[in-house]
A and B are shown apart, each in its own frame.
Chain A
Amino acid sequence: MTDAALPRTAQGAPSARPGRRFSLTWLGLVPFLLFSTLFLLIPTFYLIVGSFLDSTGQPTLQNYRDLGGEVPLNAYVTSVEISLVTAIAGGVFGFLMAYAVISGGPRRFRSGLMTFSGVASNFAGVPLALAFIFTIGRQGLLTTFLNGFGIRPYDSGFSIYSKLGLEIVYFYFQLPLMILIIAPAIDGLKKEWREASENMGASTWQFWRYVALPVLMPSLLGAMILLFGNAFGAQATAYQLTGGFINIVPILIGNQLTGDVLHNVGLGYALAMGMVGILTLTLIAYQFLQRRSERWIR
């Protein structure tokens, strides 16, 4: 480390001498820091400050109290619920599917599934919402197919524009994302562990209960936390699917942005900050679990 700071005689910035505090080497980071400050830090800071001001510019906490109002609170509850449900469902099924192609029967499809997962996890937003409308919408392929058998999902209360509909659609990018994230962890399960436990007479269930799951647990939880954040921040998919008529946080912020539906800019800022706050918690939890999983899986 000290090696890097030793004086050098080349062209460019004069090198730092040990002991000199504000060395010119910082200059090399100026473009990056300037850009990030201008287009990331200042805009975020603008929202933070705005969330603590009322409409006349006086400091207030009212915006955060207003988050407890019916509409914003419902939006948060629905957002968290959708993200949680799709993170757990996508996490569990994604793990099973990744395990199936890595260690189960259909192993020859592994690289195909991985590449497809790369595509599907990026096939989010407008086209994804459309694809599901054409499939399980009122006139969708699967809906008409089921209708032919006398099963009428739309008569029994199902709608693609509902919370459940949104969850089914989000699952489409959650599942492949889980497969991509968890595959390296499954690869890290050493077969010696399985052999050792079998030699000691452990059953498959005991192997999973006492060896594999404890090793995998930090990775599994960490991956599901990433999925949670992934669904929580998504806006385009929900917007295209419901036309902006489902009350979740990103949609509410978007509506605020286009038409000031809350009649209160400060509340819009506070909504955005609530989102940043929840995502910060998920990132911290993720980093914590990431460090724990690195103990076993390299």
Chain B
Amino acid sequence: MSMGAGTNRLGQGIEAMQGKAKDAPPKQRTSRWRFAWWLVFIAGVVYFFLPLLGTFAFSMKSIPAFSAYTGVLQDPKFYSTLGYSFVVGVITIIVSIALLVPTAYWVRLRMPRARPIVEFITLLPFVVPPIVLVFGLISTFSHPPLPFTHTDIGSTALLVCGYVILSFPYMYRAVDTGLRSMDVQSLTEAAQSLGAGWGRILITVILPNLRVALLSGAFLTLAIVVGEFTMANFLARPAFAPYLSGLGSNEPYQQSALALISFALTWLAMGMIALLGRGNRSRITVTGAR
């Protein structure tokens, strides 16, 4: 059925059954509607692309052409901050998976009673936005007994822990949905009867089955962490978003080029998720406030 068919999908069935005879009167009505839908769509697309165009136009004001982009690529801070955020993102992903997979697995297998508690905790980040979470983290960990913020490594650890918390809502749901699509009970029993221990079951049986869910979650986490500003800024970390934010006063053209590069990086991560999740309805792309 051609996409541009002159009717709207909801009416297609009936018209296919009744043939052309009934087609004539509703057609005028639907073509007017079709025009309206196109108008809505085009307005949305224009709104979506204008800011990107504006950013690109501004970056091209730098002379010679593309010097804003070469300037970015020659700035060592670009690599160091992007590298920092990337490493923080990777550690966040590892910690998040190491915490949530065994927990979700255990809840499904042995502790269905604990499900409400675990679900409640993993939903909490919706209620405690990053600005409040970082406020709480700094208030709690800036003095003994746990003076995390007094050292660089401590602050980075705190940042990672904060990001892990932020990843809970979508990561847990992704893992839980993934577990629901397999027979955890039988897989575990089969592995046990072959002599596997808990660690081996998790790593060689459960994890491979969660591959798609975990990879989408990982790319989403990476996109979020690399672009995250609030927590990195208040913890005074040399991360990518604070670098991008501070670039404006000296290098406005480079800043615009970098904003576009950061859009491209988000696009890359989301593209990976879209590729991974083809035919998979449990795509997770909804995250939190920024």
Contacts and interface: CB of A to CB of B under 8 A. Distances in A.
A158 interface: no
A147 interface: no
Interface in B84-119: 99-100, 102-103, 106-107, 109-112, 114, 118
Contacts of A40: 121, 124-125, 128, 133, 165
Contacts of B111: 4, 25-26, 28-29
Contacts of B54: 131-132, 134-136, 140-142
Specify the main secondary structure of chain A where it touches its partner.
Answer: helix
B123 A268 contact: no
A127 B248 CA distance: 11
A194 B289 CA distance: 37
Interface stretch (A8-16, A53-61, A64-72): A8-16
B8 A103 contact: yes
Given A39-B162, A233-B288, A100 B100 contact: no
Contacts of B20: none
Nearest to A168: B47
Nearest to B271: A115
Nearest to A137: B54
A279 B267 contact: no
Nearest to A184: B281
A134 B131 CA distance: 26
Contacts of A122: 220, 223-224, 227, 266, 269-270, 285, 287
A25 to B, nearest CB: 5
A102 to B, nearest CB: 8
A177 interface: yes
Interface string A119-140: 1111111111011101110001
Nearest to A226: B286
A283 interface: yes
Interface in B1-41: 3-4, 8-14, 29, 33-38, 40-41
A22 interface: no
B50 interface: yes
A230 to B, nearest CB: 5
Contact of A233 (B41, B129, B137, B274): B129
A135 B53 contact: yes
A52 interface: no
A259 to B, nearest CB: 12
A278 B38 CA distance: 38
Interface stretch (A43-51, A148-156, A214-222): A43-51
A28 B103 CA distance: 7
B286 A104 contact: no
B183 to A, nearest CB: 13
Given A4-B112, A198-B11, A257 B138 contact: yes
Q: Kindly state the interface size class of chain B when it binds its partner.
A: 35 or more
A97 B109 contact: no
Interface string B195-231: 0011000000000000000000000100110011110
Nearest to B234: A257
Contact of B285 (A50, A101, A121, A283): A121
Interface string A215-238: 000000000001001111111110
Contacts, number: 314
Contacts of B3: 107-108
B79 interface: no
B132 interface: yes
B131 to A, nearest CB: 4
A239 B229 contact: yes
Interface string A256-291: 011000000000110010011001100100000000
Contact of B244 (A35, A126, A141, A233): A126
A191 B290 contact: no
B89 to A, nearest CB: 13
A76 interface: no
B200 to A, nearest CB: 10
B245 A126 contact: yes
A136 B262 CA distance: 20
Interface of B: 3-4, 8-14, 29, 33-38, 40-41, 44, 47-48, 50-55, 57-58, 99-100, 102-103, 106-107, 109-112, 114, 118, 121, 123-141, 161-162, 164-165, 168, 185, 192, 197-198, 220, 223-224, 227-230, 233-234, 241, 244-245, 248, 255-256, 258-259, 262-263, 266-267, 269-271, 273-274, 283, 285-290
30 contacts: A1-B112, A4-B110, A11-B192, A31-B103, A32-B103, A35-B164, A40-B121, A100-B37, A100-B41, A105-B38, A119-B266, A122-B227, A124-B227, A125-B241, A126-B241, A127-B258, A130-B256, A134-B51, A135-B53, A141-B57, A142-B50, A175-B47, A191-B9, A191-B13, A195-B10, A195-B11, A230-B288, A234-B129, A237-B290, A253-B135
